[in-house]
Amino acid sequence: MKYVVGIDLGTSAVKVLLVNQLGEVVKEVSKEYPLLHEKSGYSEQEPEVWVTQTIAGLTEVLNGFSDSPEVIEGISFSGQMHGLVLLDENCKVLRNAILWNDTRTTEECQEIYDIVGKEKLLEITKNPALEGFTLPKILWVKKNEPEIFARVRTFVLPKDYLRYRLSGELHMDFSDAAGTLLLNINEKKWSKEILKLLDIPEDICPALVNSHERVGKIIPGIAEATGLSPLTSIIAGGADNACGAIGSGILKEGMTLCSIGTSGVVLSYETAGDKDFDGKVHYFNHGAPDSYYTMGVTLAAGYSLSWFKNVFANGETFEDLVQGVDSVPVGANGLMFTPYVAGERTPYADANIRGSFIGMDTSHERRDFVRAVMEGITFSLNESIAIFRRKGKSIDTVVSTGGGTKNDTWLQMQADVFNARIIKLSSEQGPGMGAAMLAAYGCGWYASLEECAEEFLHTEKEFLPNGKNTEKYEDLFSTYLEIYKNTKELNRKLVKYRK
């Protein structure tokens, strides 16, 4: 039996998966590390902890492995997007990494619009200037830490630095490069125009590779420290959302992913990078060859339900909370919820908006409120799907992952609201599995990622839309869309009274 390793470098932990040729996770290890918050809005990490914890995770995975290390043929990576790692001429880290959830760069985002122009930026990168992206971070360092910027030889993203430390080779794949605001995603080249306009040296941009490319072998020191073979191939890997899509089988037209975690993601496969979504959704290169994906984000998806549980059902299980929801009719007996409890991303990008319950009366019970929260989260996710469809996309199948799969009523609700077939996978490993699949494909196990997905991924349940419910939800969704515009100004007036 042959094996591959998928490494998922997350924001709070690195997950290491050992996967065999059948797609079975033989062993899984997770190692945590801290976030650094020096000031309000700052979010950083020390890159060295990624390396030490990954080595510890690989060592633990190999501990007790009975086969020869040579049968572990490849390692690939998934990683948190947008983070900035600056390296000097010796590839030494110049400062802590600035992460995707760092929000210090509002002025730099405006600077990008002022110099490059919003339309030009969207034309080249397909994405708006948001604080989380890499380019605003580069500009912040250039302006606020000029002595550090003067020593910069190159920049990479978090998983690229980890891969460099394991292989000695420095690259960036297209799916992560697409999240920097410096890549022309259609041409798959660094944008000389943006770099010149913002006075950023072109030579600090690393070499670009495909996510499935072999970029080297594990260096002897890491092999010795972990128990791996020095013959183990290193495969480039991809951004966490791209790998999450691969690990969920989002590999052909019509396939869409709905992932409900703390936030919610709706990600849809694209065959080309030439559609115009006006910057309302993210548009990135996929980790699959010669393809793309569009992505909308609900900022507080599962977080809205966990907030409700903590406030109104503290100490109860999730199963207790949702008990009886299946007996509540579509529309929660006239009660509606908007999940803006932490602001909203798609399609409003509004940090000031907050959630609402609309239509409360004395007849409503707790289960009505729970149903309304679940419906509101699903409506918010459906806003992204509606944007995709308005641009001519056909969305007929949605793979649902995360907290939204824990309850069959919620899965049926997704089928009815999205008006699409919902698939629940039998095993859900997300980005780590996507990284393992890239390793398997990169090592030549399969002729394509689609062929790999057929072997590695299996459907546990399917949910088809109920025509009558879908008709009701279409009407309710039109009402839901009115709430934002009618509460936006009210929330702006309440900002000064918040904690």
| pLDDT value, residue 146 | 97
| pLDDT value, residue 353 | 93
Q: Name residue 82's amino acid.
A: H
265 forms beta bridges with 259, 297
Residue 331, classed as helix, strand or coil, is coil
Q: Are 484 and 477 in contact (CB under 8 A)?
A: no
CB contact set of 242 (below 8 Å; sequence gap of 6+): 78, 175, 176, 211, 284, 285, 286, 287, 288, 293, 434
pTM of the model: 0.91
Asked if the domains 3-241 and 249-428+466-499 are classified in one and the same CATH topology, the answer is yes
| pLDDT value, residue 459 | 95
The three-point CA angle 386-391-394 to 5° equals: 70
| pLDDT value, residue 419 | 97
What are the pLDDT tens digits along the chain (499 aa)? Answer: 999 999 999 999 999 999 999 999 999 999 999 999 988 889 999 999 999 999 999 999 999 898 999 999 999 999 999 999 999 999 999 999 999 988 899 999 999 999 999 999 999 999 999 998 999 999 999 999 999 999 999 999 999 999 999 999 999 999 999 999 999 999 999 999 999 999 999 999 999 999 999 999 999 999 999 999 999 999 999 999 999 999 999 999 889 999 998 889 999 999 988 888 888 899 999 999 999 999 999 989 999 999 999 999 999 999 999 999 999 999 999 999 999 998 998 898 888 899 999 999 999 999 999 999 999 999 999 999 999 999 888 899 999 998 888 899 999 999 999 999 999 999 888 899 999 999 999 999 999 999 999 999 999 999 999 999 999 999 999 999 999 999 999 999 999 998 7
CA within 13 Å, CB half, 407: 23
CB contact set of 1 (below 8 Å; sequence gap of 6+): 20, 21, 67, 71
Residue of 102, 176, 240, 416 marked active site = 240
Rounded to whole angstroms, the Cα distance separating 367 from 325 reads 6
Largest CA distance in the chain: 69
240 is catalytic: yes
The three-point CA angle 267-273-275 to 5° equals: 85
CATH for 3-241, options being 3.30.420.40, 3.40.50.880, 3.40.50.620, 3.40.50.300: 3.30.420.40
Domain ranges for the chain: 3-241, 249-428+466-499
Query: What does each C-alpha distance from 333 to 318, 358, 371, 408 come to in angstroms?
Result: 22, 11, 9, 20
| pLDDT value, residue 38 | 87
Q: Which of 155, 247, 231, 242 is nearest to 195 (CA)?
A: 155
Fold (CATH) for 249-428+466-499: Nucleotidyltransferase; domain 5 (3.30.420)
pLDDT per residue over 138-188, tens digit each?
Answer: 999 999 999 999 999 999 999 999 999 999 999 999 999 999 999 999 999
